[in-house]
Amino acid sequence: MENNIRGGDAPIACQLEGGKNYAWCTCGHSKGQPFCDGNHKTAKGTPPTLFSVDQDKEAYLCTCKLTSNPPYCDGSHNN
């Protein structure tokens, strides 16, 4: 059984660098939301979603883990 929790109640604005790889926390246990810090291993949560962007941009990344467009916030925390 997965041990997942909400990592927060609102998205976090992040400056993403083009060509850089990121690991978005899917389990909510990371202390470094919205990014994975490896806590899913001891919490038996889900592993991170790996992603990158083509060019530098600001993005609002989900912390509630309910988004249907991971890792980006889609407003699901409001439901």
Q: What is the pLDDT of residue 3?
A: 78
State the Cα angle at 23 between 65 and 25, rounded to 5°. Answer: 25
Model confidence, pTM? 0.92
With 0-12 CB in 10 A as exposed, 13-18 as middle and 19+ as buried, what is 53? middle
Of 3, 71, 2, give the one whose Cα is nearest residue 33. Answer: 71
Give every residue of the chain whose pLDDT is below 50, as ranges.
Answer: 1
